[in-house]
Structure 1
Amino acid sequence: MEEGKSSRMIVVTLKPLYTFICLYLHFLHCQKIDVSADESAYFPLENILLDCGSLASQAVSYDGRNWSSDIRSHFVASNPDSSFTVSRASSAGTSVPEVPYMTARLFHSQFTYSFNVSPGPKFIRLHFYDDSYMSLNASKAFLSVTAGHFTLLRNFSAYLTARYMKSAYFFKEFIVHVENHTLDLTFSPSTNASDGYAFLNGIEIVSMPLNLYNQGNNVSGNSTAMETMYRVNVGGQSIPPNQDTGMSRSWTIDSTYLFGSAVGLANYGLDVSITYPPEVPAYTAPKVVYDTARSMGSFSQINKNYNLSWFFPVDSSFMYLVRLHFCEIDGKITKINQRVFDIFINNQIVESGVDVIALSQGNGIPLYRDYTVLIPKLTSLGKQDLWLELHPNLRSKPQYYDAILNGVEIFKVSNNDGNLAGLNPSVSNESSTHGDEPTSSSRSSESSNKEILTIAGISIVIVLAIALCLFLIVFLLKRKTERTKKITRNSLRNRSFSIGEIKKATNNFDEAKIIDSDAFGLVYKGYIDEGSTAVTIHRATQAISKQELHKFDAEIRMHYHFRHQHIVPLIGYCKEDHEMILVYEYMPNGTFLEHLHFADQRQQSPLSWNQRLDICTGAARCLHYLHSASSHPLIPAEIKTTNIQLDKNLMAKISGFSYNRFSTKTKGTIGYLDPEQNLTEKSDVFSFGVVLLEVLSGRPAMNPTAARDNEETDRGTANPHESLVQWALTCLEKSTVDLLVDRHLKGKIVPASLTKFIEITEKCLADQGVNRPSMIEVLCSLELAQQLQFQGFENSNGSAKDIVSHSNSNLMLGLEFFGAGR
C-alpha cells in the first residue's frame, strides 16, 4: 500500500458472523478516522516520539500524542562505552510542558540512536529545554548532531539559542532523505573540557510525502538535507501540530516578521470554499493557511508607493528554498488582471506579474511558488535578514493595485559537504522573533483491533448478530449527534472547553482565583493543559437565554475574525450548563492603569516616556485596525487604561470590547465618555485622548487634582467630580503645560516630542467628533513623537521641521493606510 494513501479493507470468510463482526469493526475504525482527522490528512508510516530521559515505563500521552521513554528503547544503538546520564530539569516553569521537556538525556561522549524506518524523506525534530540538569552549567552544553553523512548541528548551544529566540523551550526541525531502512542520529558533546556535556529532551521522526518539498531539482533533492527556518501562516493565527495535515508541523503568525507600520490588511475567506487542485495535494498546507491572507488594502494610489514587507533572520553562507503559498480568497476577484504583483527577495525581483487567478485558474484554488536564494557571507555576523517584499505590478494596469500572500516556508539547504550547521547566535543580539515555540499535538493514535478467538454455535451467531445490529443503530444515532455538535463547534473556530476543564482550571471557581470583574462578569486566573498555560477566564454572572446565546456565539466569531498582535488573544470558550465563559491568554504585566497610577505603591519602576509611547502606538494601531478592517467598523467603546493590558514584553493588548459592531447605543466609562454621546469611531478617538492625558500626566481620568504622595500641587483642592479632561484643558488655556507632565517624566521628554504629543491629544478631545482626527492620524502623530524623542537625543540641534520633512516618505504614505478595509 502506498504511503499516505487511504484504503478499503475487504474481508472474505466462510463464516457469516466473522464477516459481520470484521466489517463492523472496520466501520468503527473508519468512523474514528472521520472524526479525528481531516479528510485531507496525510497518514505517516513512521511517527516516532521519544521522551528522552523519562523514567515512565509506559508511553505518556500529552495532548493526544504518545511519547515513549528512550530508556531501554530498541532505538538506542550506542556501544557500552558511551558515557551518558538521564536527569530531570532542576526548575519547572509553569509554561513549560512536562513532555518532552522536563527530562533529558545528557551526553558525555558520542551516543547514537538507530531508527528502522522506510526509505524516503523524514522530518526530524529535536526538542530542547534550556535548564540546569544535575546542577551542571547550562552555558557549558554544546552539541553536535549528524544524520548519516549530514551534519545537522555543530557546537550548538541551547543556552544561547533560547536567549536569542526568547523562549526557554524550542525545537529544531530538519528534513533528511533516508536511502535505506536505517536512520542513525549521532549526538556528541562539542568540547572535551571536564565540565563539557550536551543534552537533548525529545526526538520526533515523522514520515512525509515523497515529493512534498522535492520537486526534482538539485536544491531539495535526495542528496541534500534541509532545516526548517520558518513556517508562517500569513494573515492568520498560529496553527499547532494537531491542526496540521498529519505531519505535526507548526505554523506561526506573520506579525512578528512584518516590517514597519505599513502592514496591510489581514483577509479571511469567509465565503470561499478551498478546492485543492491535483498538482497541490491537500496535505501541502492546511486549509486555514489558504483561507487567510494578508493584502495591501484597497487604496490603490497609496499601494503604488510602498511594499508589503517581511524580514527573516537567517544564517549566512547557505542556499535557501523559499516557498510562497497563494490562494485568491476575495470574492470579488475572479478574473485575470484584477490583482497582479511582483515578488522581491533581498531587493531582487524573482517573479514579475504574478496573477493568482491566472495561475490557479480560479478563486479558492491553492498554489505555491518555490524560489531559491543564496545568502552570502558579507560580514563577520552569523545572521543576516532575508527580505520578502510584494509590490503591485504597474505595467499590467490591473483593476486593483494590490498584492496577496497566504503562507511562507523557508528552508536552509545543506552545503555540498552535507553541512547544515550555522553559528550560534550572540547573546547580545536581540532577536526580533520568538522562534518556533512548539505546541503539542493532539492527534489521536490508532487503536488495534481485537482478535476474535472463538466462534460457537448457530444459536450464538443469531443472538450476537441481533445484539450487534441494535448496538450499531444506537452507535450511528450517537455519532450523528456528536458530528452535529462538532460542526457547530468548528463553525466557531475556537477551542471549546468543557465545564469540567474550566472548573479544574479555576479550582472549582475558587474565589481566591478571582483577579478582576468587568461588565461581562467575574475574571479568574487559571491554568489549562495540565497547568502549562496561564489564562484569564471571564465568567458571565447571568445565565444564558436563547437571545444571549446567539450574541455569545457572535462574539466568539468576532474574536476569531478580528485578530491582531495588539488584541488579547481569545483561546476558547465554554457554554455548557447554561454558562457563558471566555478564555483569554494571560497578560503577566497587568493593565496600563496599574503601571501609570500604582507603580510607587507596588515599588515598580515607573514607565519611561519611550515605553509609554510604544504602548500608546500599539493601542492606536489596534484601534485603527478595528475601525477599518471591514466594511462595518468594530467600535470597542471601552477604551481606557484598564482595558489596555501588557504582555511579558510590555506590548499593548486591547481587551474588554464586545459585540458593538452594529450598535449605536452609548456605552463607556465616566471620564472617558464622548460629550456627543454617540457610538462612532470618533467616540473611541475621544476616549483614547483621555488615555493619552493619563499617559502624560500620570493622573486618573476622574479627580485628577487629588493629593498624591510627594506632590504639593493642588493639595487640598481636590474636586472628586472634576474630570482629567476639564483639568487638562484648563492647564492648557492658562499655558501651565508643565503641570500636565508626570513628575517621573520631568526633564526627560524632548520638547518637540512633547509638543507633538499634546497637539494630537488636544485634537482627540475636540467637543465635536467631526473635528477629531482619525485613528490613523493619531497613529502617525504618535510615531512622529517617537521619532522626535529619539532624534532629540541623537541630535540636539535637530528641529521638528527637519524630521517632519524626513518622514514624508513612501513608508509613511503606506503607514497612513495601515489596515485599511475594503
Structure 2
Amino acid sequence: MNPSSGFLRFLHIILLVLAFCVSDGAYVPSDEILLDCGSSSEAADADGRKWLADSTSSKTTLTSKDSTPATAVFQDPSLPSDVPYMTARIFSSESTYRFAVNKSDRHWLRLHFYPSTYNGLPPENSYFSVSTGDGITLLKNFSAYVTAKALTQAYIIKEFSILPSSDGSISLTFTPSDKYNASFAFVNGIEVISMPDIFDQPAQLVGFSDQDVEVGTSAVLTMYRLNVGGQYVPPNNDSSLSRTWYDDSPYLYGAGFGVTFAAGNDLKLQYPEGSPDYFAPTDVYQTARSMGPDPKVNMNYNLTWIFQIDANFTYIVRFHFCELQMTKVNERVFDIFINNRTAQEQADVIGWTSETAVPMHKDYAVFVADQPGEDQIWVALHPSVSAKPEYYDAILNGLEIFKVSDNAGNLAGPNPEPSALLAEAELEDDQPGFESKPNGKLHIITRAAGGAAVASVALAIFLVVYQRKKRTDVNDSAGGNWLPLYGGNSYTGNSTVSGKSTASSHLSNLAAANCRYFSFPEIKKATKSFDESLVIGVGGFGKVYKGIIDEGTKVAIKRSNPSSEQGVNEFQTEIEMLSKLRHKHLVSLIGFCEENGEMILVYDYMGHGTLREHIYKSNKPPLSWKQRLEICIGAARGLHYLHTGARYPIIHRDVKTTNILVDENWVAKVSDFGLSKTGPTMNQSHVSTVVKGSFGYLDPEYFRRQQLTDKSDVYSFGVVLFEVLCARAALNPSLPREQVSLADWALHCQKKGVLGDIVDPLLEGKISPECLKKFAETAEMCLLEHGVDRPSMGSVLWNLEYALQLQESFESGNPVADEGAVKPASAAGDGDSFVAGSGTGEEADALTTTAVFSQLVHPTGR
C-alpha cells in the first residue's frame, strides 16, 4: 500500500473523529499548558496529567532577574499529588511568565500555591501581587500562607478566566509586596487552558429588571463551583475543561438541608440540538437537592446557601438545572432569591426544557456594594405559591459563582483573617450573648481550591459557628424560639418566622391594650381572602394588601410570608413602638393579627405611597421642589420627635425614602419601626448593638464602632436629602465605581462646587440658589464622618424650614428675613404625644391622618 495513501486514510479518520466530537457538543481546547514551576523535568500528577518543567518548556518564557527553583521541605499528607506542589519558583523581584496561545479563545488560568518553607524562606513572609500584561490585577498583597491557614487547607488554587492580549499571549507578572520586609513571591503550578466562551450571554442584574451584565472582555475569578446534592467531582471527570466541583453541604444554612437524589441508571441526559455539553459535567446534572416531600415543611423554610465573598464587585451566579423526576409543566415551581431580592419568579425547569433529563443553566448578576457587613451572597429557593404547582418543592443540580473584574481591571480581594476564624471555632455552642466585633469581618473566601474534604469540614464548622454567633445578640433578642430563614439586606443576615402563637405570648399587655386585635377571619374578609388584585406592594416582610374594615374604612394590611427576611423581632418591635407613639408625622398602627402561624399588621391606607415613587422609577408626576422640601420637613419633624419628644429617645435605624410615606394631603410620615431601638439614657453616650440598616444609608461610624446614637439617623437622613435633590437611588451599581454610592458622589460634587451637575434635571431653574446652597450644606453636615460633628435633627429641621422660606421668597419675589428671624421647631409640636408611659395620656389631633409602612411600594424591602 502506498504510504502516502495510508497517511491520508489515517488523517481522514482523525478528521471524522473530530467532526463527530464537534457535532456531539464536545469541546477540544486549542491550548493546554500545565507548568510545574521550579521543576527540571516533565512529570505527571495523580490524575495522569502531564506537567512541563518551567525551565525547559518551549511554550513558555520566563523573564526574571531574581528567580530560583526550590523544593518544599515537607509534603503535607493532604496534598493530592507531589506534582506540581513539591516544587516552586521563588521570585525576589518582579518576574514575568509569557505563554504563547490562541488569541481568539478565552483561557482558564489556574495558579497553584503550597505555602511551605522553600530555600529556608518562611512562608509567612510571602506577600505578593499577580497581574496580567493587559493590566488585570489578579492578586494583590496576597498571602497563600494566611489564606491556607484561615481555610485550614494545605494548598490553594485560584482559577481565573481571561482573554489573551492582542498579540496572542498571556503574561503573568509576579511582584513581591513592598509593604512587608523580606517579602517574596512564589508559585507551584500554572495551568493555561483554552476554554469555550461560557459567558456569551448577558445575565440579568437582580433587582434591576431593565439592566443586564455582560462579561465581555472582563476577567473572571471562580469563587465557588458546587455539585449540589452530589459528591466531589475531580478535574479528570470534567471532560476537557478540567474543573473541580465540590460538595454543597458545607454552605447550606440552618437545618434546612432538604434531600438529595440521583438519576436512575436508565435515565440518560438529553442535550438540546446544537447545545454544548461543556457547561457542567454529567455527574452534576445527574444529582440534585430538593426541599423534600412534605409541602407543609417546605412552605415554612427556604433551601438556602451562604457564600463569603468580597464586597464592591459584581458577581455572576449560575444555576444548573436538570429535572430528574417531574414530567409535566407546573408540577414543581419555585422562586429564586439572591441576597433577598427576587431573581426569578415561578421557575419551572420542565417549563423551560419541555422534557425530563434535559440539562440547562440560568445566569443572574448581583452587585455586592462596599457596605458594612456586606461580604456574603445568600442564595435561596422557595416554592412558588402564586403558581399553585402540584408539588410545593424546589430543585437545584449545580451552582457556580464568578467574580467579575471592576472598571479598573481589578479582581483582587483581601486575605482572610485567621485570628477571627480561630476565635469563632473556639466558641462553645451554648455561649449566649456573643456580639459581633467591629473589625471581625470574616472573609471565608473559598475559591475553586484543592483539599476538598478538609475544606468542606472546616468551612462547615466556621459557617455554622459564624451564623450561630450572628444570631445571638442580647440587645436584639426576641426571646422566642423561631425557625431561621434566609437573610437579606439587613446586616445581621438573620430572619425568623412565627409559628402558631397568640398575641399575649410576645407583646406586653400595654402594647396589646393600645392596639386592636384582628382575628384571622376578619383579615381574610378585609382582603377578600388575600386576593392578588388587592396587592399594593411587596417588601421584605411580605405582601401588602389594600383592605376594607368596619364597613368602609380603607386600610393597608401587611402580611408576613415564610420567605420573609424579617420576622418576629421586627413584628414585635413595630407593635411595641407604634402602640406608644402618636405624632402627625409618624405612622399610626390600627392593629395586628397573630394566629394560625400568621403575622399581620394593619395600618390606615396611605393615599400617595412612598416618597421614593414620586422622585424616580415610577410613572407618577414628579414633585415640585417646594413639595419635596415640605415632605423632608415633615419627615424631619417625625424623627426629631422620636429623638427628643418621647420619654426615652428612640433611634429609627432604617431611615430611607421608602420609609417616608405621604398621605392624601401630602403630609409626610415616618414608617417602619421594626429595627427601632431605645436610645441612650442621660448617663450613656450610645447604645452598643449589632449593626442593622439598609444599603447606602448606613452610618459608617455606627458600623465601625457598633455604637448607636441618634446621629446615625441623621446620617441616613442626609442620604435621603441628596436622594430627593438628585432623584437617584442611594446605590446604583450600573454607574461608574465612584458614582455608585450617592452619599460619596454627592459629597465629592459638593466639595468640587459642581453639585448642580447632578441635581434632578426636572428641577433645573426652579430652585432658589440660596435655597439650594442651604439645603446642600445641611445634607453635607448630616454626612460628616464623625457623629459628634453632625447636627441634631432639630438643627436639620431648622435649616430645612429656613430653606423653604428662601424658596417661597424666590417663587413669590418677596425677600426673606435674615436667618435669625426663623424660629426653630419645638420638640413636641405639631400634635406630638407619647401615649404609653409618657405621663400625658394625650393623643394627637391628627390620628386619622396615618401612614402605611416601609415596603408599600419598594419591592426589595431592607
Q: Normalization by structure 2: what TM-score?
A: 0.48
Q: What pairs with 1:288-327 in structure 2 (closer than 5 Å)? A: 288-327=283-322
1:694 aligns with: none
Q: Cα gap change, 1:153/1:437 in structure 2, threshold over 3 Å: closer, same or farther?
A: closer
8 Å contact kept, 1:219–1:413: no
Alignment of 1:374 with 2:367, yes or no, is: yes
Alignment of 1:229 with 2:219, yes or no, is: no
**Structure 2: how far apart are the matches of 1:42 and 1:807?**
43
**Structure 2: how far apart are the matches of 1:790 and 1:186?**
41
Alignment of 1:353 with 2:338, yes or no, is: no
For 1:191, which of 158, 170, 178 is the aligned residue?
A: 178
* Alignment size in residue pairs: 453
1:412 aligns with: 403
Amino acid corresponding to residue 54 of structure 2 in structure 1: D
Alignment of 1:167 with 2:162, yes or no, is: no
Residue 401 of structure 1, CA deviation: 0.6
Amino acid corresponding to residue 366 of structure 2 in structure 1: V
SS in 2 for 1:87: strand
**Structure 1: how far apart are the matches of 2:337 and 2:458?**
34
Alignment of 1:71 with 2:83, yes or no, is: no
**Structure 1: how far apart are the matches of 2:16 and 2:350?**
36
Instruction: Describe the superposition over 1:762-815 as per-residue Cα deviations: whole angstroms up to 9, x where unpaired.
Output: xxxxxxxxxxxxxxxxxxxxx9xx9xx999x999xx9xx96657899759999x
SS in 1 for 2:305: strand
1:142 aligns with: 127
Q: Cα gap change, 1:61/1:812 in structure 2, threshold over 3 Å: closer, same or farther?
A: farther
Residue 40 of structure 1, CA deviation: 5.2
Amino acid corresponding to residue 262 of structure 1 in structure 2: G
8 Å contact kept, 1:164–1:425: yes
Unaligned runs of 5+ in 1: 1-14, 441-532, 535-564, 566-646, 652-782, 815-822
For 2:196, which of 209, 215, 219 is the aligned residue?
A: 209
2:245 aligns with: 251
Residue 436 of structure 1, CA deviation: 3.2
8 Å contact kept, 1:167–1:434: no
**Structure 1: how far apart are the matches of 2:311 and 2:75?**
35
Residue 339 of structure 1, CA deviation: 0.8
**Structure 2: how far apart are the matches of 1:339 and 1:649?**
31
Instruction: Describe the superposition over 1:68-124 as per-residue Cα deviations: whole angstroms up to 9, x where unpaired.
Output: 1111444554546x2111111121112222111111111111111111111221110
**Structure 1: how far apart are the matches of 2:248 and 2:35?**
30
**Structure 1: how far apart are the matches of 2:312 and 2:420?**
19
Q: Cα gap change, 1:439/1:28 in structure 2, threshold over 3 Å: closer, same or farther?
A: farther
2:96 aligns with: 112
SS in 2 for 1:429: helix
8 Å contact kept, 1:76–1:112: no
Q: Cα gap change, 1:193/1:317 in structure 2, threshold over 3 Å: closer, same or farther?
A: closer
1:424 aligns with: 415
Instruction: Describe the superposition over 1:171-193 as per-residue Cα deviations: whole angstroms up to 9, x where unpaired.
Output: 00001112421111111111265
1:453 aligns with: none
Instruction: Describe the superposition over 1:199-247 as per-residue Cα deviations: whole angstroms up to 9, x where unpaired.
Output: 111100010113x122267744333111000111111111110011311
Instruction: Describe the superposition over 1:257-293 as per-residue Cα deviations: whole angstroms up to 9, x where unpaired.
Output: 1111111011211143211114641111111111111
**Structure 2: how far apart are the matches of 1:91 and 1:197?**
19
8 Å contact kept, 1:347–1:387: yes
SS in 2 for 1:428: helix
1:476 aligns with: none
SS in 2 for 1:315: coil
SS in 2 for 1:297: coil
SS in 1 for 2:146: helix
**Structure 1: how far apart are the matches of 2:368 and 2:236?**
33
Residue 650 of structure 1, CA deviation: 11
Alignment of 1:343 with 2:328, yes or no, is: no
For 1:128, which of 110, 113, 116 is the aligned residue?
A: 113
Residue 403 of structure 1, CA deviation: 0.6
8 Å contact kept, 2:26–2:276: no
Name the stretch that deviates more: 307-316 or 94-103.
94-103
2:776 aligns with: none
Q: Normalization by structure 1: what TM-score?
A: 0.50
Q: Cα gap change, 1:370/1:16 in structure 2, threshold over 3 Å: closer, same or farther?
A: same
**Structure 2: how far apart are the matches of 1:201 and 1:812?**
54
Amino acid corresponding to residue 88 of structure 2 in structure 1: A
8 Å contact kept, 1:257–1:433: no
Q: Cα gap change, 1:807/1:195 in structure 2, threshold over 3 Å: closer, same or farther?
A: closer
**Structure 2: how far apart are the matches of 1:648 and 1:358?**
39
Amino acid corresponding to residue 186 of structure 2 in structure 1: F
Instruction: Describe the superposition over 1:22-72 as per-residue Cα deviations: whole angstroms up to 9, x where unpaired.
Output: 5368769989999x999654210000000000122x344542111011114
8 Å contact kept, 1:327–1:367: yes
SS in 2 for 1:359: helix
Give % identity. 39
Q: What pairs with 1:623-662 in structure 2 (closer than 5 Å)? A: none
**Structure 1: how far apart are the matches of 2:87 and 2:473?**
49
**Structure 2: how far apart are the matches of 1:309 and 1:42?**
33
8 Å contact kept, 1:256–1:433: no
SS in 2 for 1:301: helix
**Structure 2: how far apart are the matches of 1:354 and 1:648?**
33
Q: Cα gap change, 1:260/1:78 in structure 2, threshold over 3 Å: closer, same or farther?
A: same
SS in 1 for 2:178: coil
Q: CA RMSD in A?
A: 3.9
Instruction: Describe the superposition over 1:669-695 as per-residue Cα deviations: whole angstroms up to 9, x where unpaired.
Output: xxxxxxxxxxxxxxxxxxxxxxxxxxx
Amino acid corresponding to residue 226 of structure 1 in structure 2: V
**Structure 1: how far apart are the matches of 2:247 and 2:139?**
26
Instruction: Describe the superposition over 1:721-758 as per-residue Cα deviations: whole angstroms up to 9, x where unpaired.
Output: xxxxxxxxxxxxxxxxxxxxxxxxxxxxxxxxxxxxxx
Q: Cα gap change, 1:372/1:434 in structure 2, threshold over 3 Å: closer, same or farther?
A: closer
2:31 aligns with: 46
Alignment of 1:269 with 2:269, yes or no, is: no
8 Å contact kept, 1:240–1:439: no
8 Å contact kept, 1:38–1:245: no
Q: Cα gap change, 1:86/1:368 in structure 2, threshold over 3 Å: closer, same or farther?
A: same
Amino acid corresponding to residue 77 of structure 2 in structure 1: T
SS in 2 for 1:101: coil
Unaligned runs of 5+ in 2: 204-211, 422-441, 486-495, 501-561, 563-862
**Structure 2: how far apart are the matches of 1:112 and 1:188?**
9
For 1:103, which of 87, 99, 102 is the aligned residue?
A: 87
**Structure 2: how far apart are the matches of 1:414 and 1:650?**
28
Q: What pairs with 1:479-494 in structure 2 (closer than 5 Å)? A: none
Q: What pairs with 1:602-617 in structure 2 (closer than 5 Å)? A: none
For 2:72, which of 61, 71, 89 is the aligned residue?
A: 89
8 Å contact kept, 2:330–2:390: yes
Amino acid corresponding to residue 128 of structure 2 in structure 1: L
**Structure 1: how far apart are the matches of 2:88 and 2:499?**
50
Q: Cα gap change, 1:125/1:304 in structure 2, threshold over 3 Å: closer, same or farther?
A: same
**Structure 2: how far apart are the matches of 1:371 and 1:76?**
37
Q: Cα gap change, 1:648/1:287 in structure 2, threshold over 3 Å: closer, same or farther?
A: closer
SS in 1 for 2:309: strand
1:437 aligns with: 449
Amino acid corresponding to residue 236 of structure 1 in structure 2: G
